Structures are given as structure tokens and as C-alpha cells.
Structure 1
Amino acid sequence: MLSPAAQHRQQHDVQLQVQREQATHDAPIVAAVSAEHAAGNDYRLMHIRLDDDVRRLASIRSRDRANQMKHSILPHYWGYCSAVISRNTTKPDSIITRVCIWCFDIGEISNGLLLAEFALGRYLPKPDGYRHTPSPAGFKRNLAETLAETLADTVLKSQTPHNAANHLLHLMELVKQHDITDHINAKLHRAYAMAVASTDSDTAIQHYTESNRLRPLASIRKAIERLEKQRGQQR
């Protein structure tokens, strides 16, 4: 029979073993909670910065100066965006959305598409078969519409639209399952037609025609006539 001292030591050893086993069992849970807490803190801190940058941009009347500012502030968001994408969280993120729009605004289209693919993929199809995304804060369009119109406008104003042909095709694939207005869809097709007009007149005519079907414009009909005339001369 164990002495009282030995019984005490045995009881103490059992308690230590139980505590060690419990700590080992809880370690992944604690780590996950800590990571989630850290991610939440990162989001709150970055959102404070984002709100401040949005206010500063809203005070600038010149689009050119505003885009210069976007060039200067975007690097501050890359680390956060990379971390969110690496965690592959299922929750939509308003910081990712805003940074994506800024990328399209200033022509950093490759980075914008990376963020767009992540952001648009957070929304699952509804019963009607389309993906419905809410409007980003400060915008009237839903997310898919905002991204499509922002990139299309950037390309339509560009002096070198052909440089964005592959980017436009990528975005068209991303938004085709989303519910967007005919007006914006037409603009997207028109931008792509303009981007490929110098290298693939047949494809350009096809997309100009689709754009004109969705939103008839005299300028599009003239562009189609011009391309058809060029195609006839080449043949």
C-alpha cells in the first residue's frame, strides 16, 4: 500500500499527464483561434488605412492626380492581399475588392485580375444559375459589374488597347456566370473588339456585333463597316 506521500505524488503525476494531453489536444485549436484573431486584427488595421485613403482620394477632383495617388498607396496593401489569398478564406473581403478596382483604374491589370478571380469566386450560384454579388461600398453596381465596367473603361480610353486583349478575355470568363447589365456587357465586348481589331478582324467583328446587339450604337456599326471593308480589301 502506498504511503500518503507516494499517493500524493502519484495523483500529482496523473494530473500533469492529463494537463499535457489536454494541451497537446488543444494546440491546433489554440493556433487556429490565434491565427483567426491575428487575421481579424490585420483586417481592422487595414480597413482604418483604407477608409483614410478613400477619403483622401474623394477630396481630389483630378482623375489623373487621384490615379497617381493610387500608384503610391497600392504597395501598402500587397502584403495584406497576399496573406488573404494564401489563407483562401471563403469570406468576401472589402479591402481586396477596393484594391482590385484601383488596380484596374491605373492599368495594373494583372494584379487586378488576380484579386478579381479571388473576390468573384467567393460567391456561389443562386437557384437561377447566376452568381449574385453585392455592390462594393461606395458603388452602385454589383461587384461583377463594377469590375467589368472599370476594366472596359480603362481599355476603351487606352492608346494601346491591344495590350489588354488577354486580360479582357480573362475577365469576360470570370464574369460570364454573374448577373450583369446588358449595358456593361456590351461595353466589355466593345473593349475586347477594339483590343483585337488590329490582329483579328473576324473576332473583332463578332464582338462588335454582340456589343451592338446588346446596346446599338452608330459608332459600333461604323467600326463593323470599316473592318468589313478592310477584310474585303485583304481578300
Structure 2
Amino acid sequence: MASSIRKHYERVTAAKAAGDAGQAPMHGEAFELMQAQLFEDYRRLKSIQSVERKIEVKREILPNYVEYVDGVLEAGQGAQDEVLMRVMLWRIDIGDIEGALSIARYAIQHDLDPGEQFQRSTAAILVEESADQALALAEDDDSLLDALREIDTLTDGADMHDQIRAKLHKALGNSHRAHGDVPEAIAEYQRAYELNDRIGVKRDIEKLERDLKKQNQTEPEPDTKSGNGQQPITSPAPEAKS
């Protein structure tokens, strides 16, 4: 385990490299060391066939990039950085959507390119990969709902296939439903269906609309009377003084 002094050094050197790079592609010793580490870790992951084992390995290696990422986010000015983008994706892969968001905010602000191998924009990757993970995670997690909402806001207006955006709205619908917010769940499912009528939410919409209708029918009328149906007693107004 790296010492606190070593961690501080890694963060400081990463921040300096990011500051020196400006808006040009990342370079410098700190970046080159992380790039070499990334290459080795990527080779290791490619040699593993089990998806479950890949996730375990990603959980194991991601802490090695924390100081570098923190340094770049602290001083970066938008330099293209394949290490940063790969770490964002790996964080999503292990279900750490909040951790990925810390990078995504920076990446989208500076319009970072994820690389030709992804064939998608940063916004599209963030939406699709996060939605896929959310659909497999515990839907009643408050932090998950907050993260999905932020992703929706962060990528609002970004161009991507409708099918990708539909996944996000389905995940949002699931999360709202798990929290008991039926009207919001219906609205998200309906938006998902508008974007992709094969997204698999039609029955969810129908069931929730039935449930909401029953709920509205069984709710008692608000009691506008006071006491046993009598008008409330009020004190007589004081006489005006002459």
C-alpha cells in the first residue's frame, strides 16, 4: 500500500502535468507512468474471460489511479487523457457510478474524446454504461437515483441514439418506482417508451397507472368541517371604541 507521502507526490505531479499540458494532449512523466500502468492492467484484463473476475480485478487495480485522477481533476484544463477516460469507464463497470461522475463532469465540460475504440461520445458512454449498471443494481439506493438524475441533467441536449437515452429513463423509472414515487416512475417509463417502444416498459406503465387509479379512488375526501360537523366557534369581535 502506498504511503501518504507517496500518494501526495503522485497527486501533486499529476496536477502539475495536467496544468502544464493545458488543452494539449496529456504528457509528462506522471501521465506516462500511468499510461504504462494502464497498458499493463488492460493486458491483464484482456487475458481474463470471466466478466465476474474482470470486475474483481478492476476493483483491485482502480485504487492505483486515485491520486492521478484527483490531481488531474484539480488542475486540469481539458487535455485529452486516455487514462482518465478509461478509469471513468472502469468505475462504471464496478458499479461506482458516483465515482465515475466525478470524472464525467470534467470530461463533458471540456469535451474530452473517449477514443476511437469506443465509437461513441463521452456523453453516450456515460448514459448507456451507467444505465446498464443501474438496471442491474439495487434500485432503492438513494445515491443511485441522485446519480441518474445528475447524468440526465449533465447530458441534456447531447446527441446520441434514442435507444441509449431510453435506457436511462427506464433506469430512472425503476428507481422512482422503488422509492414509491409512482407518478414520476410513470413519467420516466413513458419517456423511455417514446424513445424506444421495445424498451420493455409498456406493462410497467399499465400496471402503475392501474395502481395509481385505485389509490386515488380509495383516498378519503379531505375533512373541511370542524368538530362533529358544526361550524367552528369564534369569539365575538370586540366593540369599537369611540
TM-score by length of 1: 0.76
The alignment status of 1:149 with 2:128, answered yes or no, reads yes
| Residue identity opposite 1:212 in structure 2 | Y
| Identity value in percent | 30
1:69 to 57, 61, 84: 57
2:213 is aligned to 232
2:183 to 187, 190, 202: 202
Please report how far the alpha carbon of residue 135 of structure 1 lies from its aligned counterpart in structure 2 after TM superposition. 4.3
Matches within 5 A, 1:182-221: 182-198=162-178, 199-217=180-198, 219-221=200-202
The alignment status of 1:161 with 2:146, answered yes or no, reads no
Matches within 5 A, 1:8-87: 36=20, 40-87=28-75
Task: Let me know the Cα RMSD of the aligned residues.
Answer: 2.0
SS at match of 1:161: coil
CA distance in 1, matches of 2:80, 2:156: 19
Deviations 1:29-79 (A, max 9, x none): xxx89x738961111110111111112112211111000000000000000
Please report how far the alpha carbon of residue 122 of structure 1 lies from its aligned counterpart in structure 2 after TM superposition. 0.6
Worse-superposed segment, 181-190 or 171-180: 171-180
Count of matched residue positions in the alignment of Structure 1 and Structure 2: 193
Worse-superposed segment, 84-93 or 60-69: 84-93
Please report how far the alpha carbon of residue 138 of structure 1 lies from its aligned counterpart in structure 2 after TM superposition. 2.9
Deviations 1:85-127 (A, max 9, x none): 111322132211111111111111221111111111112xxxx
Please report how far the alpha carbon of residue 173 of structure 1 lies from its aligned counterpart in structure 2 after TM superposition. 1.0
SS at match of 2:58: helix
SS at match of 1:203: helix
| Residue identity opposite 1:47 in structure 2 | Q
Contact in 1 for aligned 2:170/2:188 (Cα 8 Å)? yes
Contact in 1 for aligned 2:135/2:171 (Cα 8 Å)? yes
| Residue identity opposite 1:174 in structure 2 | L
TM-score by length of 2: 0.74
Contact in 1 for aligned 2:93/2:133 (Cα 8 Å)? yes
Contact in 1 for aligned 2:35/2:83 (Cα 8 Å)? yes
| Residue identity opposite 1:36 in structure 2 | D
Q: 1:174–1:56: structure 2 CA closer, same or farther, 3 Å change rule?
A: same
Gaps in structure 2 of 5+ consecutive residues: 1-15, 217-242
Q: 1:86–1:39: structure 2 CA closer, same or farther, 3 Å change rule?
A: farther
Contact in 2 for aligned 1:93/1:119 (Cα 8 Å)? no
SS at match of 2:214: helix
| Residue identity opposite 1:175 in structure 2 | T
SS at match of 1:103: helix
SS at match of 1:219: coil
Q: 1:204–1:147: structure 2 CA closer, same or farther, 3 Å change rule?
A: same
Structure 1 ranges of 4+ moved more than 2 A: 35-39, 133-138
SS at match of 2:200: helix
2:98 is aligned to 110
Contact in 2 for aligned 1:105/1:154 (Cα 8 Å)? yes
